[in-house]
Amino acid sequence: MNLNSYVKKAHKVAVDHGWWDSNRSTAEVIMMIVTELAEAVQEYRTNGNSDKFREEIADTFIRLCDMVGAYDIDIEKEIMKKHEYNKTRPYKHGKRF
């Protein structure tokens, strides 16, 4: 399965389970992704690289794919475009860390 086909599946599951029954702002959708990352950080602090930590990372990815599907983004194309650009950037983009 390629990434774009998974995006469609993830978005369909979210739609089928009511996550898109009403209009949601882009900020709300992004914050749901951030919330999953925060849950992963908390789990890592508590239990290290546990099953629950890995589950929260998966939740983050699923929510991101759902958003990409909702906004009809060809994520494979966008990732490759950004990857090619990043190869031209200076070491650490000129930053210390």
3-state secondary structure of 33: helix
pTM of this structure: 0.88
Q: How far apart are CA 62 and CA 12, in angstroms?
A: 11
Query: What Å distances lie between residue 69 and 28, 49, 73, 82, 85, CA to CA?
Result: 16, 29, 6, 19, 23
Asked if residue 62 lies in contact with residue 12, where contact means CB atoms within 8 angstroms, the answer is: no
Q: If you ran DSSP here, which 8-state letter would residue 88 be given?
A: T
- pLDDT in 10s for each residue of the chain, 97 residues: 799 999 999 999 999 999 999 999 999 999 999 999 999 999 999 999 999 999 999 999 999 999 999 999 999 999 999 999 999 999 988 787 6
Count of structural domains, the chain: 1
Q: What is the CATH number of the domain that holds 28?
A: 1.10.287.1080
Asked if residue 76 lies in contact with residue 3, where contact means CB atoms within 8 angstroms, the answer is: yes
